[in-house]
Amino acid sequence: MAGKKKTASEEIIYAPIDEQPITETLEKNYMPYAMSVIVSRAIPEIDGLKPSHRKLLFTMYKMGLLGGKLTKSANVVGQTMKLNPHGDAAIYETMVRLTRGNEALLHPLIESQGNFGKQYSRDMAYAAPRYTEVRLEPICAELFADINKNTVEFVDSYDGEMKEPTLLPVAFPNILVNPNQGIAVGMASNICSFNLAEVCKAARELLKNENADVIKYMPAPDFSMGADIIYSESEMREIYDTGRGSFKMRAKYTYDKKNNCVEINEIPYTTTVEAIIGKIMELVKANKLREIADARDETGLDGFKIAIDLKRGTDPDALMTKLYKLTPLEDSFSCNFNVLIKARPVVLGVRDILLNWIDFRMECVKNGIKFDIERKSERLHLLTGLKKILLDIDKAISIIRHTEYEADVVPNLMDGFDIDKVQAEYIAEIKLRNLNKEYILNRTADIEKLTDELEELNRILGDDREVKKLISEQLKKIAAKYGQERKTTLISGDDISEYKETESIDDYPLTVFFTKENYLKKISAVSLRSSTTEHKLKDGDEVLQTIETTNRSEMIFFSNKHCAYKMRTYDMPDAKVSTMGEYLPVILGLDEDEKILYTVVTTDYKGNMLFTFENGKMAKVELKNYETKTNRKKLVGAYGDKSPVCDIRLTDGDVDVVLMSDNNRVLCVNTAKIPLKATKSTQGVQTMTLRKKGAKVIKVVAANESGLEDPNRFKTKNIPAAGAVLKTEDTQLSLI
């Protein structure tokens, strides 16, 4: 019980707070929400629909919109709220994606009239539901086939006022025919679409042989927006087997020679026209696409089109190769075939999805056959009773006529003709005008037909092979009726040319100057030769490194925080001797207390990096260890961090270097004695022994630049070594 509040001068006493483990809190409060999102919202089930899709389509079906006239979307949204309590905006957004007008689905489920936006446009807003009209597409007949025959389970709606199906008895594998994406809690689903005819063919083959290789019949996904898939059978087989993986897609284009314009007619399903044009114009403004004059969206009544105006002399094919590399005109589709199977999320391959759908469909068909058997058996039972009164119609009339009370009619008929209550009720309800021989003969003529039909239905129900044969025939008819040619074409990765950025970069000799205050200048050889002025430097600054290279080289900057920053030389603007150059901490995004200690410029990553630490250790690492396949800008752990670094240098082969400690000792060592390490962050090997406590290495120079008259006097046979004391007769110009 909470403590009672005292007067203002007294302390307020609160009840103690009960401690609860965080795991228990999450399990009680968060887990139910997480499970609801996974099972009831974000992940599609074996019929290829999420609950929101299913509720919407079922509502439209009950409204008579399968084959009926178009109705206002607002009407459908309002009716759907009886099953889906998530609000009209969410329901309408769900509807938009299912429409033909939106072009998101390979086989749209809703016929639409009005503006429903476009899958390929991020900014094109769909009209309000009061302006648009919808009805179900004819293919939905295959989604609801025999739904009234107890083929699927029905449950109460959220308010208990209606019944709704838990799944739809889809007659084709809709789960693979239309794309589906969802983000749940701790998991997601991203299923691409496949060609309907190919999916039906693969399913038919699996009905014959569960081990059939489905990739032979459905080689790759197919998308409503077309484009090209860069096809690799090994990568695609991995996706088919595991349900995870990715593949690349490319836009399709044509060249209008008359207007010197590239027209893009199909783009990858994962991108939008705004993303493409935005990226192109961004590169144009950055002078990285000098071949382009303008890019615009020319989508109209004729269909989708992006127009790119070229400058005179531009090779359109070479430009498109470049655009594929630099813009979303080439994009990846990441597959994650996460499906709910009996309320459990499972990541399945294509073959396993089809097998699960076959099991589900067989159950639906069997339920439908059982329903037919039950109804036909009831009908046969009634007709059998009717046949008995054919023997004596007058007797039946007499029984009814001479029965004093209405309640005794059925019992008297039961006794008079030896029939049960159901049969007697049926006979008693026959109109007087139908109690004639012709009527009864016409009805009882169906007995033999019903008997044959029941025998056939029971035979099919008892043989799974017959059920599969029935499903296969249905798939064949659906493929013939709704199948269409592939929209997405396949191209081999071997047949396409990859854009190499360096090929379009001007290459020329230049010199890089790196200063103590972390300024860097890139000056072309032509500019350097023609310059008559001295280097402009900040007061107190000096040039630490002068490196001759070319424009197609790469630069590596080593900082005092054990990081290496990479940059292409051609990304650095050309400078002049009369300018201070580029300030590296700003360009590289260094921390406030971080500075560059050493710069490497290379074209082939040859040579070794030599790191000398204040504790007397030296580490040698191949420069190739800093080469990366991707364009990474920062490498953490570029060298050892156990002791402050004293010197960093690039060596081409083994050389003599001179180390000097702050206790006036000097050691000359050849780098051949330093073992080559494979790890960049290696601590190295002890090279100079520091006998005095607190002593450290303070300087490292090349032996030929040390100024020592006889560097060999400071050499030792083995390392580690303390070196020799520097005497007054030694020249120390470079060591002071």
Active-site residue, from 30, 33, 131, 158: 131
Task: Give which of 160, 172, 212, 179 is closest to 196, Cα–Cα.
Answer: 172
Number of H helices, E strands in the chain: 19, 34
Distance in angstroms (rounded) separating the CA atoms of residues 360 and 342? 10
pLDDT of residue 502: 59
Confidence of residue 504 (pLDDT cuts 50, 70, 90): low
Largest CA distance in the chain: 149
Confidence of residue 104 (pLDDT cuts 50, 70, 90): very high
- Of 281, 313, 328, which residue is a domain's last? 328
pLDDT of residue 733: 46
pLDDT tens column, 255-282: 999 999 999 999 999 999 999 999 999 9
Start-to-end Cα distance in the chain? 78
Residues 583 and 641 in one domain: yes
Distance in angstroms (rounded) separating the CA atoms of residues 475 and 301? 35
CB 369 within 8 Å of CB 457: yes
- Of 169, 195, 226, which residue is a domain's last? 169
Confidence of residue 16 (pLDDT cuts 50, 70, 90): confident
Distance in angstroms (rounded) separating the CA atoms of residues 418 and 424? 9
CB 648 within 8 Å of CB 682: no
pLDDT tens column, 380-411: 998 888 888 877 888 888 888 888 888 888 99
pLDDT of residue 41: 84
Q: What is the mean pLDDT of residues 318-326?
A: 91
CATH code of 285's domain: 3.30.1360.40
Residues 562 and 710 in one domain: yes
Residues 6+ apart with CB under 8 A from 29: none
Whether 174 is covered by a domain: the verdict is no
Residue 500 pLDDT > 70, yes or no? no
Whether 657 is covered by a domain: the verdict is yes
- Our answer to whether residue 583 is catalytic in this structure is no
pLDDT tens column, 198-215: 999 999 999 999 999 999
Residues 470 and 372 in one domain: yes
Distance in angstroms (rounded) separating the CA atoms of residues 572 and 574? 7
Distance in angstroms (rounded) separating the CA atoms of residues 713 and 726? 10
CATH code of 401's domain: 1.10.268.10
Residues 558 and 648 in one domain: yes
- Number of domains observed in the structure of the chain: 4
pLDDT of residue 3: 47
Residues 530 and 461 in one domain: no
Whether 414 is covered by a domain: the verdict is yes
CATH code of 569's domain: 2.120.10.90
Residue pointed to by tokens 């083995």? 718
Residue 735 pLDDT > 60, yes or no? no
pLDDT tens column, 428-474: 888 877 777 788 788 788 888 999 999 999 999 999 999 999 999 99
Percent helix, strand, coil in the chain, to 5, is 35, 25, 40
Q: What is the mean pLDDT of the chain?
A: 90
Task: Give which of 112, 124, 119, 125 is closest to 179, Cα–Cα.
Answer: 119
Task: Say which amino acid occupies 690.
Answer: L
pLDDT of residue 442: 82
Distance in angstroms (rounded) separating the CA atoms of residues 137 and 66? 7
Ordered DSSP codes for 551-587? TT-EEEEEETTSEEEEEEGGGSPP--TTS--EEHHHH
Task: Give which of 382, 456, 375, 368 is closest to 420, Cα–Cα.
Answer: 382
- Of 109, 140, 169, which residue is a domain's last? 169
pTM of the entire predicted model: 0.75
pLDDT tens column, 342-357: 889 999 999 999 999 9
Whether 22 is covered by a domain: the verdict is no
Q: What is the mean pLDDT of residues 316-335?
A: 93
Range of the domain at 412: 355-482
Residue 49 pLDDT > 60, yes or no? yes
pLDDT tens column, 480-498: 999 999 999 999 887 777 7
3 state SS of 445: coil
Question: Which carries the bigger pLDDT value, residue 431 or residue 181?
Answer: 181
| % of the chain exceeding 70 in pLDDT | 96
Whether 523 is covered by a domain: the verdict is yes
CB 599 within 8 Å of CB 569: no
Ordered DSSP codes for 478-540? HHHHH----SSEEEEGGGSPPP-GGGGS---EEEEEEETTSEEEEEEHHHHHH--SPPP--TT
pLDDT of residue 672: 92
Residues 451 and 587 in one domain: no
Distance in angstroms (rounded) separating the CA atoms of residues 120 and 104? 8
Whether 78 is covered by a domain: the verdict is yes
Q: Cα–Cα distances in Å, from 416 out to 399, 427, 434, 543? A: 8, 12, 19, 123
Q: What is the mean pLDDT of residues 694-716?
A: 87
Residues 447 and 360 in one domain: yes
Q: Which residues pair with 245 in a beta bridge?
A: 335
Whether 660 is covered by a domain: the verdict is yes
Whether 703 is covered by a domain: the verdict is yes
Residue 417 pLDDT > 50, yes or no? yes
Residues 6+ apart with CB under 8 A from 557: 564, 565, 566, 567, 584, 588, 596, 598, 599, 600
Other CB atoms within 10 Å distance of the CB of residue 364: 24
Q: Cα–Cα distances in Å, from 211 out to 173, 194, 215, 465, 467? A: 18, 20, 12, 16, 19
Residue 501 pLDDT > 70, yes or no? no
Confidence of residue 729 (pLDDT cuts 50, 70, 90): low
pLDDT of residue 734: 54
Ordered DSSP codes for 255-266? EETTTTEEEEEE
Residues 464 and 585 in one domain: no
Q: Cα–Cα distances in Å, from 545 out to 266, 518, 534? A: 51, 11, 16
Q: What is the mean pLDDT of residues 564-582?
A: 89
Residues 375 and 522 in one domain: no
Residue 1 pLDDT > 50, yes or no? no
Residues 310 and 427 in one domain: no
Residues 436 and 581 in one domain: no
CATH code of 160's domain: 3.90.199.10
Question: Which carries the bigger pLDDT value, residue 467 or residue 12?
Answer: 467
Distance in angstroms (rounded) separating the CA atoms of residues 698 and 317? 58
Please provide residue 245's backbone torsions phi and psi, each rounded to the nearest 5 degrees: 145, -175
Residue 615 pLDDT > 80, yes or no? yes
Exposed e or buried b per residue across 586-622, where buried means at least 16 C-beta atoms within 10 angstroms of its C-beta: eebebeeeeebbbbbbbeeeebbbbbbbbbbbbbbbb
Residues 398 and 310 in one domain: no
